[in-house]
Amino acid sequence: MRWATARSRSEAPGAPPAGATRALRWVLFGVLFLTTLLPFGVLVVTSVARSWFWPDLLPPTVSGDAWTELLRGGGRLAPATATSLLLGLSTGALAVAMAFPAGRAMARLRGWRRHLAAGAAFLPVAAPPLAVGVGLQYSFLVAGLGGTLPGVLLAHLVPAAGYVSLFFLGVFAVHDDRLEVEARTLGATPAQALFHVTLPALRRPLLEGFVLGFLVSWAQVPLTLLVGQGVVPALPLEVLSYVQAGQDARAATGAILLVIPPLLVMGLAGFALRDRPVVVA
The binding site for other proteins (CB under 8 A) comprises 176, 178-179, 181-189, 192, 196-197, 200-201, 203, 276-277, 279, 281
Nearer to other proteins, 72 or 178 (CB): 178
Largest CA distance in the chain: 74
Nearer to other proteins, 12 or 278 (CB): 278
In the complex, minimum distance from the CB of residue 203 to other proteins, in angstroms, rounded to a whole number:
7
Please say whether the beta carbons of 132 and 159 come within 8 A. Answer: yes
**CA atoms of 51 and 65, how far apart (whole Å):** 13
Nearer to other proteins, 197 or 243 (CB): 197
The amino acid occupying position 44 is V
Residue 187: which region, alpha, beta or left (left: phi > 0; alpha: psi -120 to 50)? left
Nearer to other proteins, 56 or 182 (CB): 182
Cβ neighbours, 10 Å, residue 100: 23
Nearer to other proteins, 183 or 237 (CB): 183
**CA atoms of 222 and 167, how far apart (whole Å):** 23
- 92 phi/psi in degrees, rounded to 5: -60, -50
Size of the chain, expressed as the number of residues it contains: 281
In the complex, minimum distance from the CB of residue 278 to other proteins, in angstroms, rounded to a whole number:
10
Residue 73: which region, alpha, beta or left (left: phi > 0; alpha: psi -120 to 50)? left
**CA atoms of 92 and 165, how far apart (whole Å):** 12
In the complex, minimum distance from the CB of residue 175 to other proteins, in angstroms, rounded to a whole number:
11
In the complex, minimum distance from the CB of residue 100 to other proteins, in angstroms, rounded to a whole number:
16
Nearer to other proteins, 128 or 275 (CB): 275
Residue 49, SS3?
strand
In the complex, minimum distance from the CB of residue 121 to other proteins, in angstroms, rounded to a whole number:
26
In the complex, minimum distance from the CB of residue 191 to other proteins, in angstroms, rounded to a whole number:
10
